[in-house]
Amino acid sequence: MGSNKTPEDGRERLRQNELKNNPGGSFSDGFDRSSGSGNLTDLVGGIGWKGIGILIILLFLGYVAYSLFFN
């Protein structure tokens, strides 16, 4: 029973391999995918943990710059 693979399993395996081999491309894919559906879960899943970390750092640096220049 374990040897029977559905097409969904194959697509998911290919998607995981692509995310593993091309982390920079998954960042833009996450934004492109979320612009059509507006689903935050798809955005976070597409970006991955490195992209989320970069996004948090950029938001923090933007807040610091805003507070320095406008206060």
In this model, does residue 67 exceed pLDDT 80? yes
d(CA 71, CA 68): 6
Which of these, 26, 4, 56, lies nearest to 34 by C-alpha position?
26
Question: DSSP letter string over 8-48?
Answer: HHHHHHHHHHHHHH-HHHHHHHHHHHHHHH--HHHHHHHHH
Is 0.85 topped by the overall pTM?
Answer: no
For the stretch 1-60, pLDDT in tens is 455 678 888 888 888 887 777 766 656 665 565 455 556 666 666 777 888 889 899 999
The pLDDT score that the predictor gives to residue 57 is 96
Structural domain spans, the chain? 7-70
Q: What is the mean pLDDT of residues 57-68?
A: 96
pLDDT band at 62 (very low <50, low <70, confident <90, very high): very high
